[in-house]
Every structure is written in C-alpha cells, then in structure tokens.
C-alpha cells in the first residue's frame, strides 16, 4: 500500500539547509494500524505530510498504491488527497465559520458529489461518530472531543483507504482522547489503514505496530520488535 525507498526531505529556510528526513525506507501494508513515535524534530510531521501527499520528497521514491507520488501533478496530488487519504489533525482544522455538517461536506464537494448523496453521506458519517444531534453546531459550540469526531467524520467522507492522524489526541483530555482512540480502532477493524503520530506511549502501545523515528531516520520500524518478541 505505502512503500518508501530512501526518501529524503530537506528544506531551505533562509540560508540554512535543513534535512528533516534522511533516507526513510518504509513499507506499510493495507489494513495496518501503525503508530509513529519519536521526539520533537525527529521528522514525524514531515513524514506524515509526505505520506499524505501534501508534500513531495526531495529525493527517493514514494509509491502509494503503485503510483509514484513524486511524479504526479499538483492536480493529481489533490485528487489523491481527496479520495485516498483522510486527514485528522491535532488542532482539528475545522473551518471555523462552518457547521459540523458543512465541514464534513467539504471533501464531498471537492469530489464533485451530487447534492442528494452529499446530504445522506454527511448525516450517515455524523451518526457514525455519534454526533447526529450536532449537525448544525459550529466548532465554537462543540467540545474538543466533538470537534475531533467531526474531523474524523470528514476524513472518512470519500471512503479513503488511509487515515492519517497527526497527534489526534494531543489537544484532548484523557477521557475524550480515549474515545477518539477507540473510534480509530473501530475504523481499523472495519478494514482502514491507519497511521497515527503520537507522543503518548500508552496510545502507541495499543497500535499493531510502532514506528520509531529519530533524527530523520527510522530507529525501529516495529517489525523486528514483533518478530523477536
């Protein structure tokens, strides 16, 4: 599903070159639940941006379902983000002026879905995350846990294969954080591939596989640990 060969990502900020990823080899199979851990600045977010096709590698190869992401046009990348990937962010990243309903509708709009389908789909998704009664609430009228559930519903809108979650519980209290983690597990059981960045070792421990990053390199990819155990 996801395969990386020697992926390098470097940025130029002013006159200083900074290499965030220094040659990542990674293979994630369909249906995996992988947690990505590592200290700040280890390249977790950069890795996520590349996996999510928000950014492309400086060198190396990233194959997503057999297509080389580095070779795709900006429109094709947009299409992949729209159909194949669902994003869940630490800061929720909901449109502040829009209701829960309208936020979930965004990916469906960009996919060009018909109005009737959009309506049914949004209601279905919000019911699934337990927010059927908050359809017309704006983000300011919801708790953090509720906002993150809206974001998850939005990530699921176009039935993507991969859900990318960047510290999804980072801004939540432990109770609602636990609920969100539970929701991810349900999605995993329904067959989604889930990649989750986290600081929280307890959450990482619930994952099928833990990928540890350090200084832009993979410290452990979670496979050896499992075979040795």
- CA quadruple 143, 150, 202, 90: dihedral, nearest 10: -80
CB atoms within 10 A of CB 135: 16
Contact between 135 and another protein by CB under 8 A: the answer reads: no
Nearest approach, Cβ of residue 116 and another protein (Å): 13
Nearest approach, Cβ of residue 94 and another protein (Å): 8
The residues, any chain, with a CB within 8 Å of residue 5's CB and separated by 6 or more, are 25, 60, 61, 62, 63
Contact between 55 and another protein by CB under 8 A: the answer reads: yes
Show contacts with another protein in window 143-172 (CB under 8 A). 154, 158
Question: How wide is the angle at C-alpha 199 spanned by C-alphas 34 and 145, nearest 5°?
Answer: 85
Contact between 79 and another protein by CB under 8 A: the answer reads: yes
CB 210 within 8 A of CB 35: yes
Rounded distance between C-alpha atoms, residue 125 and residue 69, angstroms: 29
Nearest approach, Cβ of residue 54 and another protein (Å): 5
Contact between 102 and another protein by CB under 8 A: the answer reads: yes
CB-nearer residue toward another protein: 131 or 164:
164
Rounded distance between C-alpha atoms, residue 205 and residue 149, angstroms: 22
Contact between 95 and another protein by CB under 8 A: the answer reads: yes
Contact between 1 and another protein by CB under 8 A: the answer reads: no
Binding span for another protein by CB under 8 A among 33-41, 78-86, 178-186, 188-196: 78-86
CB-nearer residue toward another protein: 154 or 212:
154
CB-nearer residue toward another protein: 103 or 193:
103
The residues, any chain, with a CB within 8 Å of residue 191's CB and separated by 6 or more, are 31
Contact between 132 and another protein by CB under 8 A: the answer reads: no
Contact between 93 and another protein by CB under 8 A: the answer reads: yes
Residue 54 is classified by DSSP as S
Nearest to 163 by CA among 87, 53, 62, 79: 87
Residues engaged in binding another protein (CB under 8 A): 49, 52, 54-55, 74-75, 78-79, 81-83, 87, 89, 93-95, 97-98, 102, 106-107, 109-112, 154, 158
């Amino acid at each position: 599903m996801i395969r990386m060969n020697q992926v390098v990502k470097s940025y130029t900020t002013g006159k200083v070159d900074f290499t965030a990823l220094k040659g990542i080899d990674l293979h994630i199979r369909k249906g995996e639940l992988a947690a990505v851990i590592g200290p700040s600045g280890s390249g977790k977010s950069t890795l996520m941006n590349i996996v999510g096709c928000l950014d492309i590698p400086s060198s190396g190869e990233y194959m997503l379902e057999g297509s080389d992401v580095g070779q795709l046009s900006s429109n094709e990348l947009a299409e992949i983000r729209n159909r194949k990937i669902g994003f869940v962010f630490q800061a929720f990243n909901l449109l502040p002026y829009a209701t829960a309903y309208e936020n979930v509708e965004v990916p469906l709009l960009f996919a060009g879905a018909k109005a009737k389908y959009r309506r049914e789909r949004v209601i279905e998704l919000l019911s699934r995350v337990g927010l059927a009664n908050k359809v017309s609430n704006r983000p300011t009228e919801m708790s953090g846990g509720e906002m993150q559930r809206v974001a998850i519903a939005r990530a699921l809108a176009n039935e993507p294969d991969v859900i990318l979650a960047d510290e999804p519980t980072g801004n939540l209290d432990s109770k609602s954080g636990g609920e969100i983690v539970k929701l991810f597990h349900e999605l995993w059981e329904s067959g989604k591939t889930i990649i989750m960045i986290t600081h929280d070792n307890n959450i990482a421990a619930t994952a099928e596989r833990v990928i540890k990053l350090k200084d832009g390199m993979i410290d452990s990819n979670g496979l050896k640990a499992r075979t040795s155990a």
